[in-house]
Amino acid sequence: MATKQPAKPPAPPVQSPRTDDGDALVVERQTQQVKPPQMYQVVMLNDDYTPMEFVVVMIQEFFSKDMETATQIMLKIHLEGRGVCGVYSKDVAATKVDQVLEAAHKAGHPLQCVSEPVD
């Protein structure tokens, strides 16, 4: 059981009252303009070794596209050398790229995928 009384906190310092001499500063509130985050597109690149069916499966699995859309993206990759699979925030795009590269590596395919800022 404690025998001492707890110490009282120190009293705040006393300030002298201010007099207004007419030179008061007025601060106006400014609204901040918030820009949306920079978006990144995930792009798959064509190679001569990865099967088209595997590319379609990757697009369906990691980008939630239906069979028809995934096939259209795969054909664009095959014919033009690259195709956009989706547009995401920076962190999500980087995660999608890592997932595709890891799955392609595990399957033994040299499929390449990159993320680029959207202009």
- Taking the whole predicted model, whether its pTM rises above 0.75 is answered as no
At 54, which amino acid appears? F
* Residue 73 phi, psi dihedral angles, 5° rounding: -65, -45
Q: Confirm if 90 and 37 have CB atoms less than 8 A apart.
A: yes
Q: What is the pLDDT of residues 60-77, one digit of tens each?
A: 999 999 999 999 999 999
Q: Which of 28-42, 52-66, 77-91 has the weakest average pLDDT? A: 28-42
* Residue 100 phi, psi dihedral angles, 5° rounding: -65, -45
Could you give all domains of the chain from N- to C-terminal order, each with its CATH number?
48-117 (3.30.1390.10)
